[in-house]
Chains A and B, each alone.
Chain A
Amino acid sequence: MNRVIWVFDDVEPLKKAYTERLQSLKIIGRQGYDVVSLRADEFQREMGLLKERQQRIRKGKTWPDDFLKLDEVAIFIIDYDLLRSEGFLTGETVAYLTRCFSRCGLILGLNQYGKNSYDLTLRGHLESYADWNVGSDQFDNQGLWGDKFSQEAKAVEKDGIFRPWHWPNLPAYFESLQKRIDDVFKHSDQPICSVLGMEQIAALLPKRVGQFITGRTRSSPAKVTFTRFVTESGNGLKSRYKRATPEMIARIGAARVSKWLERLVLPSQEILIDAPHLVVRYPSLLKGHRTVRTWNLTTNMKPHGELPLDHEKIEKFRFKRDYWLSRPVWFWEKVSSSQGIKEVREPWTRESSPFVFCEDGSVFRDRKECKEFLADVDSADVRRYVLKSDRQVKYVPANRFLSS
């Protein structure tokens, strides 16, 4: 049976257009997804049931045996402005209710942060309960829906493409969701950092990074369990719920902690580091000819073993619970201390990388073709690059660009 992608906007013509645009993407059908437009009356019914579930949980009860269709949905795409819906809902409220009180897979929030923008801060809107936030001009970008945007084609393409590096391969990210949920379910009363294998670096987390996990709890990031995160931090369930069900804890914990890893921990490239940023720092880890094509092979979302890297030197530093992130990553602190890496052992022989990595196109390019900007991440490595190949995309805040 095909999996379902639901699309909802309270403006009918827009909803129809969004649905059709997504249906026209062959890659979605090939991966076994049906794109369905959610009717307004169905939407109201689903919201009503979600609120009922919320109230029951507040009273310490469990979910009723209702039939919530959202429970069967793989990916729910919801617009932010829902001015015509009953109850003054916003897409964010819907995302919160869906995340916390349903079994829906992934939530894609539309237009909360612009219809076609690129956020130069690289900070990932953790306040939003949508798993990913994109604009309505971007959500049918093929690069978001599969790994079919050919790296080879990218390498030779003159004009480049817009495909932000922080985007996941959405279907693959959905496929791995159940593993994340199972992980939390089995380890709900263990510290998050221990479960993720990050206990040794928990103390090194910058305040802004650690405080998402601790939230309102009076604990250190190293000690917060999934249960406490979901029920007490304020970044899982918003109010204090003492009786969240184990399933809720697993689902909310999996979604929110994964977003934390993807959008707050990883972008700094200081705690975890992904392949393209790693080869910029240590070009010797790149295997094969050092053409831009080889560099670009590090930017696909394939499993770590398929990346052109010298795996022997870094395998023991790899983040082993790899289903928690949409791409292979390594522990930077350990990599940067490894004497097996030439640049660490003999820094005086270091060759600087000939290309820079473009965060908005997921490609390496000559620096002269790119624009430098300052990301607002918790790292000393804040100077990053964009290609700006698509002139329709609005890069914000514009004052983060360095003058050329």
Chain B
Amino acid sequence: MNEDPANQFDLIFKTLEWLCRKTMAMMEDPGYLEIYREVFGIRKPAVPEKLLDLYEKSKSKLRVKGDGCNVYLPPLWKKSNIVPLLWIRCNFAKESPELRIYAEVYSRASGEIRGVGFRFETPESSADEMAEPNSNESPSSGANSSRHDYWHVQLTNDTVHNGPRWVPDHVPCMPVAAHCPVSLVLYFLRSFYEKETIAKIVTYANIPGICLQSLHTLGLM
């Protein structure tokens, strides 16, 4: 596989772009609109042009602080009342590329839009620099990062609208089947979509199949 960080960076943005365009295209169908429109009012959606702008501005440094660039995922099915979105932070200029995928999942519960957040992450080393948006505890503190020195996912309520007041945002730190930043994105997407959809994304973004190896090993592809 091409481990070139610039290539990984490019593939990830192509994937996000695909998600963004797909969602916006599906929004043409009134059947999908209502709950998405409600969440759009709370967490402003990134349009493909904004995402591209972010890509263009960041690709020389391979570093992104994508807060506010909310990429909505396509509806899971037509009448789905789940609205997933993501935004990312990454630094691929480091020796070990870092990627954090902030996933927010919204739905209507008890008459209002409520959300839950997850963070999919590359292994953290004690030298990690990317601070959490609103966290009181720094994940860079030695003891914590040594616990998170593998590909993982954990709960978060950092930027989630109307989420739980408190979540255990360092444990459980669940291992994920990933071995490179692109494979982390694909793992994240596999947790929402069937394998056929993942195969289509891989095709569109021209992602080498080896990025799916971890998922395949676990029988998820």
Contact = CB atoms under 8 A, between A and B. Distances in A.
B202 to A, nearest CB: 5
B56 interface: yes
Contact of A353 (B18, B52, B206): B206
B209 A347 contact: yes
Contacts of A346: 209
Interface in B1-37: 2, 14, 17-18, 21-22, 25, 28
Interface in B22-61: 22, 25, 28, 48, 52, 56
A393 B203 CA distance: 32
Interface of B: 2, 14, 17-18, 21-22, 25, 28, 48, 52, 56, 195-196, 198-200, 202-204, 206-210, 212-213, 215-216, 221
Interface in A328-369: 336-337, 343-344, 346-353
Contacts of A351: 208-209
Contacts of B221: 347-348
Given A348-B212, A352-B206, A352-B207, A343 B52 contact: no
Given A337-B196, A402-B52, A350 B204 contact: no
B166 to A, nearest CB: 38
Contact of B56 (A343, A349, A380, A402): A402
Given A352-B208, A380-B21, A382-B21, A207 B28 contact: yes
Contacts of A403: 56
Given A207-B28, A348-B216, A349-B209, A374 B52 contact: yes
Q: Give the interface SS of chain A, mostly helix, strand, loop or mixed.
A: loop
B25 A380 contact: yes
Given A336-B203, A380-B18, A383-B14, A347 B198 contact: yes
B211 to A, nearest CB: 8
A343 B203 contact: yes
B17 A380 contact: yes
A315 interface: no
Interface string A365-394: 000000000100011111100000000000
Interface in A196-232: 206-207
B208 A350 contact: yes
A98 B215 CA distance: 59
A242 to B, nearest CB: 32
* Most chain A Cβ neighbours within 10 Å, of B196, B204, B210, B215: B204
A346 B196 CA distance: 10
A179 interface: no
A348 B215 contact: yes
A341 to B, nearest CB: 10
Nearest to A379: B21
A207 B212 CA distance: 34
Contact of B199 (A206, A344, A352): A344
Contacts of A207: 28
9 contacts: A206-B25, A206-B28, A281-B206, A347-B195, A352-B208, A378-B25, A380-B18, A381-B204, A402-B52
Contacts of B206: 280-281, 352-353
Nearest to B210: A348
A347 B36 CA distance: 31
Contacts of A281: 203-204, 206
Nearest 3 interchain pairs by C-beta:
A350-B209, A348-B212, A348-B216
A66 to B, nearest CB: 47
Interface in A243-291: 280-282
A280 B17 CA distance: 18
A331 to B, nearest CB: 15
Contacts of A381: 18, 204
